Structure 1
């Protein structure tokens, strides 16, 4: 069998990172922010979690500067967000992580996701194709306006038309432009204008607002109604920075309602008008073509970033931020320990103080002295009692006691006790000891 190649840990993490980044590429997900840290380098580090799992995330300075949350606040722990991120692996630790490219509040973020999904769907169906767009008439006498009759947009349009060409006839097709029923109202107004056939061009729009405010112009039924319109349409929704799906499907997009009025009204310089129209159409075409090219180049661009120094720099920056955080934690812990050390040493010193030991030793000596005195007293008492007892016993066996009762002890001149007559002879001198003295005698 051929020898099996044994991987180094760094080789394994590099291969896993390449697989994750090349296979999964970009993902959308929603979750709750936790462990949020804004590093001194400008990068953000956080975790996204739900009730079952969590994943580490990093958002680098170039991307997080474009984040626009409510009140321009930074993300906070516990906040629900929607992110677009690239799946990756932090090689130094072998940790699975996400590189966040876009971050929004969950509510507005979901709307943006729905916007992108519907846009991709309609693009695939050819709804936004340039082939289906109608040419705006060069001479316009009658203009239809689908908008709110009380909004600022209609006032701006009428003001511009009156200033530029008061002879243009204006027909307003009133419709709600915000709220739950706005999309059906807009579709009904477009259908009404097409059924009457009383205008040369139809302006569809409203003033600026949030993504949620402009959402009726992103509804599929509104896009389809504009697509089906026989009358050439101009989309004039919001401000110049606002872009809706109605802008993509309309025959012409105006950055504002006032600009739409200028486009449909005659001007002394026709060349400027044509250049403006062609520029807007070219911009739309460039935007659509760029979206297609970006998708085609995404994989190749991703592979190039693997070997790019910036990728390695980001990893080292992230590692540097992590080490910096760990260093700050160690410094805080060391300072706390240093602050507590004198107190701990004082406590140890009190425990080891000779004063306390001296008191203990004095107490012990006092106790031992008392025990010695007690032991001596007891010993003397015991010895005295024993001595008395021995005296009593000695008296019981003492010959003096016997002598005191009238007996005597006979001894020879050598002071030996004579207990038999065989021990003496006639004329031997003897001594008889009685209780009160000694009697000298002679055997006869």
Structure 2
């Protein structure tokens, strides 16, 4: 092999390193958009994922020093716009992107802006239910802020014409889409407040994409609605569309037609209500008349009862009744006094000293008889117990045992002899009998 050919031989490591340097130096930073897939977030804090479109994909890595600056949490399937360095992962020889920055693409970016503004305004209290004002029950005039040529205005006017044809309507035409829309909406709200010619405002438009409705998510529109002295009904898009204007308004209507129904009372319903009130008034007047007639009848009867002659007769009858009750009361008190006197005489007789002395004598005699009986019984019991104890003592007495023919043998030193082995032949012993004692001499000793 020639010298020139030997210089062209690469190791795998050297080749991968050279390719990485070429990719990073020649391409530098690139912008691209795609869909996130196979997202992994290990404990190291780095992110690893693939970025793909309809026909290709590329591996990506975003290190924690960069991903800390991402203001949202990425998920599989999310469309993103990234700035990246093209590189090569040398250990495996795999081409990859090192992501420097990331942001949502298309609707994702708008959704992120929506959530950030929603969070910030909520923290300021612009969405608090306590600050929302009720709509007037019977508005004198209604203001509409929307496009003069849009379907929303037609729907609102149709509903208002049907429900309240005599209700005055003021239209403040504005753009409801595009860069100029938010400024015109703010100016219309301020104009309506300066003129003070309506007492409720409808602000809104028909449905559309998120970009079409975006002017109602602008912060200055939200603050204009919040600062309005006139209650505001937000009617933006369809029922599923939620905007910042809906959240800050005093009331949110799902559609422009629904907003018209909320602000305008139904005239036919008001006529029915008026008829019901008229009927209730007639019934109340009839009841009042009946009550007054009944009241006058009662007063006439009371006047008749207040006649002086009748009152005198009633008082005379009352006097007779009181006299009878007094007589009955005196008689009753007299009988009670007599019963009380008899009871006291009986108690006095029962407490007589002679009677109590006789009772004391009887109790003394009974106690004395019981004492003699108890002493006799106790004496008999003591004598019987003494006899029993004497018999028991006699039964265990050594003298009684000797009296039955037994004897006690002791050595001359006084030791009681109970075994034959305690003595020996020729030894002298003392035997005690029931009466007297013997001095004996041992001739023979027999041990068992």
TM-score by length of 2: 0.40
TM-score by length of 1: 0.41
- Higher normalized contact order (CA 8 Å, seq sep 6+, divided by chain length): 1
